[in-house]
Amino acid sequence: IDKKIMFNQFDFSYNDFFSTCFSIKFSQDDTVFIRQHWTSAFSDSLKSNKNYRAILSDPERETLDSFLIKMKFATYDTSYYESYQDGHYYEFFINKDTLQKTIFVHSDSIPNELKSFGYWIVAIKKKLRLVEIDTTLEFGSLKYFLPPTVPPPTIKFTPPKVK
């Protein structure tokens, strides 16, 4: 079966300020590549500044394809921005046919399909079985995306022993 090429390159970067900052690159098949830029101290499985790969299940890949078919990337603005401090932001990068576009989101006023797609990607990434890899990864979605500076380590305090 000759599968339709959904994109030449598609990736997504996400930062929620409190627990994770990552980029995920989708391939033409079921493999995804992830750069974990930063993870909170409460994450016991992922390490900051590490690369991973994972395999999408058939239903996950079908959902990805259905999002990509529905998305009208050419019609979206390149930036949906509201000035607020907390929350999260994310960025889509698509390269397909003659379209090469980055869409930056830091707003709640965005097309529903963009919001749904972004939340779906974040949810899927949490469920994937990640295998650490030693490969350099490049992401189009990091163009205007600044991974957070890593907060200073927490100072451990040991109270003196009472005699």
* pLDDT at 149 > cutoff 70: no
pLDDT for res 1:
45
pLDDT tens digits for 33-92? 999 998 877 766 788 899 999 999 999 999 999 999 999 999 999 999 888 776 789 999
Please report which residue ranges of the chain form alpha helices under DSSP H: 58-70, 112-127
**153 band by pLDDT with thresholds 50, 70 and 90:** very low
Alpha-carbon dihedral 33, 112, 19, 93, rounded to 10 degrees: 30
Instruction: Report the pLDDT value the prediction gives residue 31, as an integer from 0 to 100.
Output: 96
Please say whether the beta carbons of 36 and 46 come within 8 A.
yes
Residue 146 has a pLDDT of: 59
pLDDT digits (tens, 9 = 90+) for 76-133: 999 998 887 767 899 999 999 899 999 999 888 899 999 999 999 999 999 999 999 9
Find out whether 13 and 90 touch, Cβ atoms under 8 Å. Answer: yes
> For residue 2, what pLDDT band results from cuts at 50, 70 and 90?
very low
> How confident is the model at residue 73, as a pLDDT?
95
For residue 29, what pLDDT is reported?
Answer: 92
Distance CA 149, CA 38 (A): 8
Q: Give the pTM.
A: 0.84
pLDDT of amino acid 162: 72
pLDDT at 148 over 60: no
